[in-house]
Chains A and B, each alone.
Chain A
Amino acid sequence: MFRNFTQVLVAGAIAALFACTPAIAQQKLKIGFITTLSGPAGIIGKHMKDAVELALDHLHQKVGGLDTKVIFGDDQFKPDVGLQVADKMVKDDKVQFVSGIIWSNVMLAVEPSVTEQGVFMIGTNAGPHELAGSQCNPMFFTTSWQNDETPEAMGKHLQDEGVNDVYLMAPNYAAGKDMLAGFKRYYKGRIVDEVYTKMGQQDYQAEISQLRAKKPKAVFVFYPGGMGIQFVKQYVQAGLRDKIPLYSAFTVDETTIPVLKNDAVGQWETRYWSPDLKNAANEKFVSDFRKKFGYMPSYYAAQSYDGIMLIDSAVRAVKGDLANKKGMIAAMERADYASTRGHYTYNVNHFPIENFYLLRAVKDDKGEVVMRIQKTVFKDHKDAYYKECKMK
């Protein structure tokens, strides 16, 4: 232990010497990017990390015109580990921006610690309602959405279509309940039943049998990641795909389509972004991403790419003066950059005001399963919590 410990100290001392000297000579931009890189959720982290690297390529490794170093951190899907990683980035690496974060609980743990130390937090996925409402913060921006908005769009769509007798399912945890609450905010039709399943459950046969017995007209589910793969597979195997249309949020996407393939075809999702969204920034992003990494980017990737581009616009606006935080806040509030979703604006709580679309998984002419936009559900949609936000 002595050896380990002295090594840490010596390494720290050397690092400190190197870190201190050039910092005075020249402004260098440091961004800490936190995501989940290990474990089953590591696939989402990979999408995000690859997107950041593509953004750096597009900016020739100079974000906002400054020499840039991006430090990646693995939160292991645990709030306290995420906090420790962020702490290291802020105190040890002295980053000016912390970005990324997939999970709401990690975000809620990390955000206060980062912003209290005068460092920007640029979320690129998690959008818990606390940060959109009561705990909103000028040093926090997100390039994604508030969690409820995506299911709200699906609720609106089914309401507009006049679909009745919907069966709702989600895992039994906070995000699951939020998702169904968001859905019900815009859907006023009859709900057959609302079922919460165990977190991380593998087998849904019992629930599918119950569902079939209730004979609903439509099913809406929220099953992210591995749970989604299992649920959709078993739903299709039960022969229900053609009988009861399956609508979902955050369940079928570019991280799960490679595993689901044909089983995904016919799935309805709502989202603020899609690979086939027509604008120059998105077309460049999608085609370069596929060229560089050989797979289809997801919204996790698009948001993370946007995160770096948002930081780029802020640093450019203050001409590289990283001490000018007010200037950077004002610049980011304008969202003056070429986003992959097209132009959008920021609400008072620093959450985007953006469009939401209805998507469907289809086979394209090459036989590949892809998500395609069917229609626009919301134009310039605002989240449900911004009025609670008293931005100082």
Chain B
Amino acid sequence: MNLQLVLEQILNGLQLGVMLFLMAAGLTLVFGIMNLVNLAHGSLYMVGAYLATTFYRWTGSFVLGSLLALPATLIVGVIVEVVALRTLYERDHLDQVLATFGLILFFNELIAIIWGRVGLFTDLPQWLSGSLDFGGGFSYPLYRLLIVMLGFAVALLLWYVVARTRIGMLVRAGASNRMMVAALGVNIRLLYTLLFGFGAALAGLAGAMAAPIYAVQPGMGEQILIQVFVVIVIGGIGSIRGAFAGAIIVGAVDTLGRAFLKPALATLISPTAAQAAGPALASILIYLLMALILALRPEGLFPARGH
């Protein structure tokens, strides 16, 4: 095990972490503030990936395609909110789970009908496909570095908006006392719709970023959804800070576990036993972590105040 490899794996963990964060931020806001469990958040991620890929083809520009996908996913999110989810805010979490699961089925099939089941071909533009050389033989894929930087930029922006602006103040106020904000004459309905659309756009951004490196196919949202739920639960629901911490922790634990657990085990137990136990243990590492954190802190690391 050399230092370069460890460094590289830490970068990999960060990159996975910020991808999870982009998904988790929207989910935790919608959950924490509107009290809505949205299983279909993964579908919005899928929609974002499909739209970004399609716009990339039309415009011939990766950046333009990704940028266009954001407002487009926002619009899809707003439509979903107005048509189906608006009536669910006052309902049980259970009803929300069932209804949004129904939406998952609907979106997966709709995408399969429109774009086919085969999935879409996407590729990075030439200028993004290389690696950045740090000297000393250490290099890292440029695109993945870009994702890390973008993720940190979005995190900073979100922190600024939530902590320092009027909208952010309303959002925080809405999270702790909905009735009060409504009584103050704020159009809470519109605020919710916009917030949901904003969450959708963030998921869409994650989808657009993911499109060139993962497979763009129906059902891609569910593969990442559970991990994202793990993130927001570890972080504490409704907390952007928690979502960020949770995402980085999950990304790092998962990546480092996959990379180093087996060799580490092999020094303790026999290599054959490590061969069998390593991958199995690496698969459940994030669930173990979640169970441990919840056993110690039943409301996650950064519980949002209020409620």
Are A and B in contact, CB atoms below 8 Å, in the complex? yes
Chain-A contact segment, one of B116-124, B166-174, B186-194: B116-124
| Distance between Cα atoms of A263 and B213 in the complex (Å) | 11
B20 to chain A, nearest CB (A): 10
B43 to chain A, nearest CB (A): 13
Name A's B-contacting residues (CB within 8 A).
Answer: 38-40, 42-43, 46, 172, 194-200, 202-203, 205-207, 209-210, 213, 226, 229-230, 233-234, 237-239, 255, 258-263, 295
Q: Which 9 A-B pairs have the closest CB atoms?
A: A229-B215, A196-B279, A40-B219, A43-B117, A172-B279, A259-B119, A206-B255, A226-B215, A198-B283
> B154 on the interface (CB 8 Å rule)?
no
> B150 on the interface (CB 8 Å rule)?
no
Quick one: CB contact mask for B236-280 with A, threshold 8 Å, 1 for yes? 000000000000000000011011001000000000000100111
Name B's A-contacting residues (CB within 8 A).
Answer: 2, 4-5, 8-9, 12-13, 15-16, 19, 108-109, 112, 117-121, 123-124, 129-131, 141, 143-144, 212-220, 223-224, 255-256, 258-259, 262, 275, 278-280, 282-283
Pick from B15, B118, B283: contact of A43, CB below 8 A: B118
Q: Which residue of A lies closest to B285 (CB)?
A: A198
Q: Decide: A260 and B124 in contact? CB cutoff 8 A.
A: no
| Distance between Cα atoms of A230 and B220 in the complex (Å) | 11
Q: Decide: A259 and B214 in contact? CB cutoff 8 A.
A: no
A361 to chain B, nearest CB (A): 14
| Distance between Cα atoms of A194 and B274 in the complex (Å) | 11
| Distance between Cα atoms of A206 and B17 in the complex (Å) | 13
B28 to chain A, nearest CB (A): 21
Q: Decide: B259 and A259 in contact? CB cutoff 8 A.
A: no
Pick from A38, A200, A209, A259: contact of B223, CB below 8 A: A200
Given A198-B282, A206-B258, A259-B216, 10 additional A-B pairs, CB 8 A: A42-B117, A172-B280, A194-B275, A196-B279, A202-B224, A210-B5, A226-B220, A229-B119, A237-B213, A260-B121
A183 to chain B, nearest CB (A): 16
Pick from A40, A42, A209, A262: contact of B9, CB below 8 A: A209
| Distance between Cα atoms of A260 and B216 in the complex (Å) | 10
Q: Decide: B215 and A206 in contact? CB cutoff 8 A.
A: no
Q: Decide: A197 and B279 in contact? CB cutoff 8 A.
A: yes
From A38, A200, A206, A258, residue with most partner B Cβ within 10 Å:
A206
| Distance between Cα atoms of A260 and B118 in the complex (Å) | 11
Q: Contacts A230-B215, A239-B131, A259-B121 given: A197-B258 contact, CB under 8 Å?
A: yes
| Chain A residues, CB < 8 A from B220 | 40, 202, 226
Q: Decide: A262 and B123 in contact? CB cutoff 8 A.
A: yes
Q: Contacts A206-B9, A206-B258 given: A233-B280 contact, CB under 8 Å?
A: no
Q: Decide: A258 and B118 in contact? CB cutoff 8 A.
A: yes
